[in-house]
């Protein structure tokens, strides 16, 4: 008796084609969606990272320009003070003193005015006009109509003090004052000043074009410098020339800064004290970047730049457009998957099993899919096999061990540029040019491949990362992407293994009558920047920093100590300090490395001694 027939029902079955279509379509959609999500996410992060970099570089360049300009004025004042205090220049309006001051003003392009005042209020000095002409002047304290001097309160031991901006018929001047001493007592004051016009020229030089504006304002809202004095970016003309208050000048963007909204995506710039705001003005949106500069007036100056927000939105639209293309690709991919599923009526167990190997990057375990008489299934098999071949080819250029480490730690976090202490190894073949002259191109390549195979095997055996091959040399490092405390020991063990392997290889080469391959090795430990370096479509996971240069110089220094040895390994003291007691090292002494001002303490590694004992690193390490 059929129970379904009794209750008027029937068993419901599903066609295999529908199951395959749904499963295959869902798999492709989820996979492509995940890739799309990661790609779009990475593109957005890269875009805002570049925008952060632009904000930081732009504002820091402006700050350096302004500070460099004003620091030269302060340095000139301090230098002249020393000459007065030492009695080399007299604080009196003699022809010689005026000549000395004229020479100082002429030699310093930042100086506009030098004023010497005595305690009675008499003053003299040098004024440089905008055309470069220099004028001496003298004024007695009792000149009718002369405005009283407004000097900061200075003690004999006072450092240079920047005063309020001084407005004069010839311009507006930022000024710094120092006391002049005789036998420890104040006998007068020296004031060095620079015109806002000269500061403005320095700031305007950083204006990137008609879509950007650079500015300097005081914290009290006075516009000191503005790169668009004739026509604002909004299309209107300023009401007056600076210096002027924000209201008088009439720049709606600067006036709207007080109500601007901070951009949370510029957090890295904010961490460096750079404020990035969104301001609406004249029916447009602008991005304002600014930072306070202190130490050159009683109140801080604020320097910055603003530009149309459309320059940023264009980048966002470009990324969004790629996301839409990706969504369209997902839809097309799902439709194709459903279409293929309707044509496929056989189990896909083999495909799923082989795909699992690919997902684990176990490409050596992948078995090529067999050809099929069904056209669609045959196409899938061919495509899958081609994909595996492509992945294997990619692994020829991207070390599988490095990729697995990055994936295990987290690709985004591990590849993010950061500072870390690593141990670095450089190698180079001594006399490679003469060695290769007697070889054909194929013989040279074969020799190098055999040589690098020895080096790479030793590096990977100790959990290191091969950074790059440089001609006949190699660069590798330990301690990244995954951290380990014994990176110096691992690097030293690698150098020992390389040395012993090269010496064994040379023994065999000599038996065959071949020229031995002699190698220099340098080891150094120190702080570097490690992570992704490059352009948006061309990244390298690498290290940069002074420690890399030191290691390369150590390798080059090996030519002075190699003698007749097949392998010479030189270590810096920074690496030796991290090796266990009893390490087979010999002190070479302090050496001058090319391109460095100080000496570096150098050691030589004994390759004939026992291999250094390894110790497990705490936590996750590359040795795992």
Question: For the domain that residue 417 is a member of, what is the CATH number?
Answer: 3.30.70.1230
Q: Please indicate, yes or no, whether residues 468 and 577 belong to a single structural domain of this protein.
A: yes
- Of 369, 397, 425, the last residue of a domain is 397
Q: Please indicate, yes or no, whether residues 593 and 469 belong to a single structural domain of this protein.
A: yes
Domain of 104, CATH number, reads 3.30.450.20
Domain of 221, CATH number, reads 3.30.450
Domain count, the chain: 4
Query: Beta 519-535 vs 567-572: how paired, if at all?
Result: parallel
Question: Does residue 85 form part of some domain?
Answer: yes
Q: Please indicate, yes or no, whether residues 326 and 277 belong to a single structural domain of this protein.
A: no
| Percentage of the residues of the chain whose pLDDT score is greater than 90 | 28
Q: Please indicate, yes or no, whether residues 463 and 565 belong to a single structural domain of this protein.
A: yes
Average pLDDT of the residues of the chain: 81
For the chain, give the number of residues: 624
- Of 195, 215, 234, the last residue of a domain is 195
Distance CA 46, CA 40 (A): 10
Question: Does residue 403 form part of some domain?
Answer: no
Position 623 confidence tier, pLDDT thresholds 50, 70, 90: very low
Q: Please indicate, yes or no, whether residues 301 and 348 belong to a single structural domain of this protein.
A: no
E strands in 376-491:
418-429, 465-470, 473-478
Question: Does residue 214 form part of some domain?
Answer: yes
pLDDT for 1: 40
Name the residue with tokens 């000149």.
143
| Ramachandran angles phi, psi of 601, nearest 5° | -75, 125
pLDDT of 166 higher than 70: yes
Contact (Cβ atoms closer than 8 angstroms) between residue 611 and residue 507 = no
pLDDT, average across residues 369-381: 78
Render pLDDT for 553-578 as a digit per residue (tens, 0 to 9).
999 999 999 888 999 999 999 999 99
Q: Please indicate, yes or no, whether residues 291 and 422 belong to a single structural domain of this protein.
A: no
pLDDT of 43 higher than 80: no
Buried b / exposed e across 102-139, counting CB within 10 Å, b at 16+? bebbeebebbbbbbbbbeeebbbbbbbeeeeeeebeee
Q: Please indicate, yes or no, whether residues 214 and 176 belong to a single structural domain of this protein.
A: no
Render pLDDT for 258-276 as a digit per residue (tens, 0 to 9).
888 888 878 888 888 888 8
Best CA proximity match to 303, nearest among 291, 321, 315: 291
| Ramachandran angles phi, psi of 28, nearest 5° | -65, -40
E strands in 183-221:
185-195, 212-218
Q: Which domain holds residue 122?
A: 68-195
Render pLDDT for 169-184 as a digit per residue (tens, 0 to 9).
888 888 999 999 988 8
pLDDT for 5: 43
pLDDT for 596: 82
Best CA proximity match to 472, nearest among 491, 496, 454, 451: 451
Q: Please indicate, yes or no, whether residues 544 and 431 belong to a single structural domain of this protein.
A: yes
Q: Please indicate, yes or no, whether residues 459 and 570 belong to a single structural domain of this protein.
A: yes
Distance CA 489, CA 579 (A): 6
Best CA proximity match to 494, nearest among 612, 620, 616, 621: 612
Q: Please indicate, yes or no, whether residues 550 and 463 belong to a single structural domain of this protein.
A: yes
Q: Please indicate, yes or no, whether residues 567 and 425 belong to a single structural domain of this protein.
A: yes
Higher pLDDT, 385 or 410: 385
Q: Please indicate, yes or no, whether residues 426 and 505 belong to a single structural domain of this protein.
A: yes
- Of 314, 347, 378, the last residue of a domain is 314
Question: Does residue 549 form part of some domain?
Answer: yes
């Amino acid at each position: 008796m059929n129970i379904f027939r009794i209750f008027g029902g029937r068993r419901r079955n599903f066609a295999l084609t529908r199951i395959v279509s749904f499963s295959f379509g869902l798999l492709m959609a989820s996979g492509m969606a995940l890739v799309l999500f990661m790609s779009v996410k990475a593109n957005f992060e890269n875009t805002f990272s570049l925008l952060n970099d632009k904000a930081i570089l732009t504002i820091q360049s402006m700050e350096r320009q302004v500070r460099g300009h004003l620091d030269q004025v302060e340095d000139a004042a301090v230098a002249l003070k020393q000459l007065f205090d030492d009695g080399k220049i007299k604080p009196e309006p003699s022809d010689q003193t005026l000549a000395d001051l004229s020479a100082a003003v002429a030699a310093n392009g930042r100086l506009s005015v030098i004023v010497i005042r005595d305690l009675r209020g008499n003053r003299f000095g040098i004024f440089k006009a905008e055309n470069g002409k220099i004028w001496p002047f003298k004024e007695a304290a009792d000149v009718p109509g002369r405005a009283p001097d407004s000097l900061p309160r200075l003690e004999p031991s006072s450092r240079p003090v920047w005063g309020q901006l001084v407005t004069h018929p010839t311009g507006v001047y930022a000024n710094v004052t120092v006391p002049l001493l005789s036998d420890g007592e104040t006998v007068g004051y020296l004031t060095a000043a620079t015109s806002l016009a000269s500061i403005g020229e320095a700031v305007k030089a950083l204006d990137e074009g008609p879509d950007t504006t650079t500015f300097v304002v005081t914290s009290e809202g006075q516009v000191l410098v503005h790169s668009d004095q004739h026509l604002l970016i909004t299309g209107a003309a300023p009401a007056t020339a600076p210096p002027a208050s924000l209201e008088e000048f009439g720049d709606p963007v600067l006036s709207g800064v007080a109500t601007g909204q901070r951009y949370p995506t510029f957090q890295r710039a904010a961490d460096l004290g750079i404020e990035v705001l969104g301001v609406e003005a004249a029916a447009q949106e602008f991005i304002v970047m600014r930072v306070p500069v202190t130490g050159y007036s009683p109140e801080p100056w604020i320097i910055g730049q603003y530009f149309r927000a459309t320059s940023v939105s264009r980048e966002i639209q470009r990324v969004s457009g790629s996301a839409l293309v990706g969504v369209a690709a997902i839809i097309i991919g799902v439709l194709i998957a459903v279409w293929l599923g309707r044509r496929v009526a056989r189990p896909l167990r083999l495909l799923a099993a082989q795909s699992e190997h690919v997902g684990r990057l176990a490409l050596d375990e992948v078995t090529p899919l067999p050809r099929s008489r069904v056209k669609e299934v045959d196409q899938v098999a061919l495509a899958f096999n081609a994909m595996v071949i492509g992945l294997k080819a990619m692994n020829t250029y991207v070390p599988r061990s490095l990729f697995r480490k990055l994936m295990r730690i987290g690709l985004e976090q591990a590849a993010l540029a950061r500072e870390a202490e690593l141990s670095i190894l450089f190698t180079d073949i001594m006399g490679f040019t003469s060695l290769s002259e007697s070889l054909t191109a194929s013989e040279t390549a074969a020799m190098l491949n055999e040589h690098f195979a020895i080096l790479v095997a030793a590096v990977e055996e100790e959990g290191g990362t091969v950074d790059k091959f440089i001609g006949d040399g190699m660069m590798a490092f330990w301690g990244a992407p995954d951290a380990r405390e014994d990176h110096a020991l691992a690097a030293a063990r690698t150098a020992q293994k390389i040395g012993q392997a090269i010496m064994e290889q040379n023994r065999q080469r000599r038996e065959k009558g071949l020229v031995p391959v002699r190698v220099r090795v340098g080891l150094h430990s120190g702080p570097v920047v490690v992570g992704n370096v490059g352009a948006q479509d061309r990244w390298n996971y690498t290290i940069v920093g002074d420690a890399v240069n030191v290691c390369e110089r150590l390798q080059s220094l090996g030519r002075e100590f190699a003698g007749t040895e097949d392998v010479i390994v030189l270590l810096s003291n920074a690496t030796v300090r991290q090796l266990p007691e009893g390490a087979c090292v010999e002190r070479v002494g302090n050496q001058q490395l090319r391109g460095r001002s100080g000496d570096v303490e150098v050691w030589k590694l004994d390759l004939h001694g026992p291999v250094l004992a390894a110790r497990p690193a705490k936590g996750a390490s590359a040795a795992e």
